Amino acid sequence: MAGHSNETVNRSLHICPDCRSNLVQPTCWEQDEGDRDRWRVWRRCPECEWTSEGVYNSLTIDAFDEALDVGSHELLNELRSLEHANMREMVDTFLVALRDDLIAADDFARGY
27 contact partners, CB below 8 Å, separation of at least 6: 42, 43, 44, 51
The pLDDT value given to residue 29: 94
Spatial CA neighbour of 52 closest among 24, 78, 71, 77: 24
Tens of pLDDT along 78-96?
999 999 999 999 999 999 9
pTM of the model: 0.69
Residue 4 has pLDDT above 60, yes or no: no
The pLDDT value given to residue 53: 96
Residue 10 has pLDDT above 70, yes or no: no
User: What phi, psi does 101 have (nearest 5°)?
Assistant: 55, 45
Tens of pLDDT along 16-64?
999 999 999 999 999 988 888 999 999 999 999 999 999 999 999 999 9
The pLDDT value given to residue 3: 44
The pLDDT value given to residue 36: 86
Share of the chain above pLDDT 70, in %: 88
Residue-averaged pLDDT of the chain: 89
The pLDDT value given to residue 11: 67
